[in-house]
């Protein structure tokens, strides 16, 4: 009887032990996981790493801990090792719907950090096969194709994302159309590029930067035709053919001027982006005096525009009207005495007004060159000027570099 009672007590204690021990262990692991997430959020990667390692040591089938461990390693700057961890999960057949999607997300980011865009895109496509409306995958495909300069596909997934979310962003779609055109323009596909730029305006008429790139396409095509004419001239091709090419080059440059003027008038605060282009083009076509009318039209709508004031003063100086040049440049300095361009032009004008000698002429020529370099410098134009068209900033930054996230 006593033996039976002891056996019963032992069995009861055993049942109690096994019933209470495992949940306690699981509770500890759950606490470790939650703490690990908190450490990640607070930026304590090492602490998070140690927590997830402890969980995996106790539960080798804890997929969530493996996923987070790989994420910590990737964010710590070692995407190669993160990829190994995540790839080891790829062979497991019993992953849940959530775990499979989270795995593909992490693999996509691992590959992206390793500059393997094709594989990153492939992982996103796998997510869309599971859920065609997955917003994370759609947003990353927009980014990955953008990094690959595949603007056609980037725009495709932007349209899908907007469709599924019920949102509307015609302006962003127009900008993507412009990027598509810029890719064509880089291959001298001028008409196809212009079609993209014009379509951008059809998508969103407020996408004024499209005029800038329409002008750019005409200008580049004009340069190509002009160089062809010059080559024919050197090769002593018949005069008629040379004249036809020169006429075409001038016609194309005229179209460029029209679109630069459109941009300057519609976006006066950013008109400095095209003024030097207009000035050079009008000079090449013997229409230099038109620049005064264009600049004054812009000032009528934006009287505090010191860049336009500087350009108008420079024009007067080149036309020999130093009094008008000094008067307007002083007005510019009253509006903004920190403008480097305005101050340089004032300095040049002061040298012009003093007694002429060889030293003064040399200094003036050097200042002239410096002024031209400043207004043509792309870094100064696009990235450092506070009045840069925000669309231009986005277009240049996304087209010329990869944006890691």
CATH 3.10.400.10 assigned to 2-165: no
pLDDT for position 140: 95
Please tell me the predicted confidence (pLDDT) of residue 6.
Answer: 58
User: Per residue in 84-105, pLDDT tens?
Assistant: 989 988 888 888 999 999 999 9
Residue scoring higher pLDDT (209 or 27) = 209
Q: Residues with Cβ < 8 Å from 322, sequence gap 6 or more?
A: 316, 349, 352, 353
Q: Tokens at residue 289, please?
A: 């005096």
For residues 102, 108, 109 and 111, what is the CA-based torsion angle, rounded to 10 degrees?
A: 140
pLDDT bracket for residue 21 (50, 70, 90) = very low
**Token reading at 401:** 């570099």
DSSP code of 356? P
The beta strand positions in 295-385, using DSSP E, are none
Instruction: Write down the pLDDT at residue 64.
Output: 82
Cα 19 to Cα 23, 27, 239, distances in angstroms: 7, 13, 101
Cβ within 8 Å of residue 366, ≥6 positions away:
none
Taking a C-beta distance cutoff of 8 angstroms, is the pair 333, 342 a contact? yes
- The 3-state DSSP class for residue 115 equals coil
Residues 387/269, Cβ–Cβ less than 8 Å:
yes
Looking up tokens 């990153």 gives 120
Cα separation, 258 vs 241, in Å, equals 26
Tens digits of per-residue pLDDT, 125-170? 999 999 999 999 999 999 999 888 899 899 999 999 999 888 888 9
SS3 290: helix
- Domain over 271-388 is classified CATH 1.10.287: no
Query: 386 pLDDT exceeds 60?
Result: no
Helices 190-203 and 170-186, axial angle in degrees (round to 10): 170
% of the chain residues with pLDDT over 90: 36
Run of H or E including 373? helix 358-376
Alpha-carbon gap, residue 170 to 67, rounded angstroms: 37
DSSP letter at 76 equals T
Q: Are the folds of 169-267 and 271-388 the same? A: yes
User: Measured between alpha carbons, how far is 33 from 45 in angstroms, rounded to an integer?
Assistant: 13
Task: Give residues with Cβ within 8 angstroms of 334, minimum separation 6.
Answer: none
pLDDT per residue as tens digits for the range 300-350: 888 888 888 888 888 888 888 888 888 888 887 777 777 777 777 777 777
| Domains in the chain: boundaries | 2-165, 169-267, 271-388
Quote the CA–CA distance of 103 and 89 in Å, as a whole number.
Answer: 8
Contacts of 289 (CB under 8 A, 6+ apart): 319
Average pLDDT of the chain? 81
Q: Span 194-220, mean pLDDT?
A: 95
CATH tag for 169-267 (out of 1.25.40.10, 1.20.120.530, 1.10.357.10, 1.10.1040.10): 1.25.40.10
Is it the case that residue 354 has pLDDT exceeding 70?
Answer: no
Over range 377-395, report the average pLDDT.
62
Predicted local distance difference test score (pLDDT) of residue 259: 96
């Amino acid at each position: 009887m006593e033996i039976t009672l002891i056996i019963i007590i032992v069995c009861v204690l055993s049942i109690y032990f096994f019933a209470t021990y495992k949940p306690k262990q699981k509770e500890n692991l759950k606490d470790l996981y939650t703490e690990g997430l908190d450490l990640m959020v607070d930026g304590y990667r090492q602490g998070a790493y140690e927590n997830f390692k402890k969980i995996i040591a106790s539960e080798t089938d804890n997929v969530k801990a493996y996923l987070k461990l790989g994420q910590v390693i990737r964010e710590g700057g070692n995407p190669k090792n993160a990829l190994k961890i995540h790839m080891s999960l790829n062979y497991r057949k019993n992953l849940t719907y959530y775990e499979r999607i989270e795995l593909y997300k992490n693999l996509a980011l691992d590959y992206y950090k390793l500059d393997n865009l094709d594989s990153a895109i492939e992982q996103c496509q796998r997510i869309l096969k599971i859920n065609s409306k997955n917003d994370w995958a759609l947003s990353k495909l927009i980014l990955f194709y953008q990094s690959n300069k595949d603007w056609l596909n980037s725009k495709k997934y932007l349209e899908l994302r907007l469709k599924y979310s019920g949102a509307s962003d015609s302006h962003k779609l127009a900008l993507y159309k412009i990027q598509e055109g810029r890719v064509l323009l880089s291959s001298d596909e001028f008409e196809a590029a212009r079609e993209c730029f014009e379509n951008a305006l059809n998508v969103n008429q407020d996408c004024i930067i499209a005029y800038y790139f329409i002008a750019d396409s005409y200008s580049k095509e004009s340069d190509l035709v002009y160089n062809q004419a010059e080559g024919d001239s050197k090769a002593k091709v018949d005069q008629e053919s040379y004249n036809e090419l020169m006429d075409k080059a001038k016609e194309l440059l005229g179209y460029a001027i029209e679109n630069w003027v459109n941009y300057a008038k519609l976006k006066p605060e950013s008109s400095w982006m095209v003024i030097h282009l207009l000035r050079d083009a009008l000079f090449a076509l013997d229409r230099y005096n038109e620049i005064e009318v264009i600049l004054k039209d812009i000032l009528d709508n934006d009287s505090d525009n010191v860049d336009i004031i500087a350009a108008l003063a420079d024009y007067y100086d080149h036309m020999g009207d130093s009094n008008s040049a000094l008067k307007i440049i002083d007005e510019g300095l009253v509006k903004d005495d920190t403008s480097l361009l305005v101050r340089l032009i004032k300095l040049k004008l002061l040298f012009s007004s003093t007694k002429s000698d060889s030293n003064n002429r040399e200094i003036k020529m050097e200042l002239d060159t410096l002024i031209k370099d400043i207004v043509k410098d792309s870094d100064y134009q696009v990235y450092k000027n506070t009045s840069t068209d925000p669309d231009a900033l986005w277009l240049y930054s996304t087209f010329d570099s990869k944006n890691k996230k």
